[in-house]
Structure 1
Amino acid sequence: MLYQPMLLILLCAPYSLPVTVYSALTSTLHSLIFGAITCVTGILGIGIGAALSKHFKKKSPRADPLSCAAGMLSSSLCLYLAIVLARHNIAATYVFIALGETLLALNWAIIADILLVIWR
């Protein structure tokens, strides 16, 4: 499996520089941006997931698994688009990484709630 910042480094490397020289120059920057995106979207996704779960549970008792499924499917689409767009537009790549990780983090609060309901 390819670590996401390394993928960004390899895809953003200009063709004139060897990849080792370019990766030494920018690996810290890409790792810092990726880490910041991961932290912020994780916290944001947990909050949004808890709010969505609370809102939709009033309308349907099956809202939790459906929210998890929607979050997983849409996050996989966003992360796929991030990988595809990485060579063409780095800003769009970071946007889709942020969306994908936020949608992936939606599941954490919902899955914890599902497990607590099962154990009761």
Structure 2
Amino acid sequence: MDELLQAARDAMDDAYVPYSEYRVGAAIETADGTVYTGCNIENANYSNSLHAEEVAIADAVKRGHRSFERLAVSSSERDGVTPCGMCRQTLAEFCDESFPIVCDDADEPVEYTLGELLPNTITKEMLGQ
């Protein structure tokens, strides 16, 4: 099995999901090969919940990383979960449309590119940056 996907699966163990009981783990690999993981953390005010992907990205960014190679996402259901729109937009801040995203499915992992999951994204260039 792919080590990045296994890291995402392992990250699920730390999930705090008292409301949905739907564990999600994510692992992101930086350009230098370092792997950061995250899990979902729910809150009674659902809009304040944190997604596994954003936790992993935030950990990497706070440690100075800005360039990423790929992301793996898994859920307790192994249902092919993909990053939500908010997480996709966060990825687009640091990654181009060819960025690979591996999603854990019951049969076999499925790989997408960020561009497939988020076409016509809002970019820094659109803001004149």
TM-score, L = length of structure 2: 0.27
Larger Rg: 1
Task: Please identify which structure carries the higher helix content.
Answer: 1
Larger RCO of the pair (alpha carbons < 8 Å, separation 6+): 1
Task: Please identify which structure carries the higher strand content.
Answer: 2
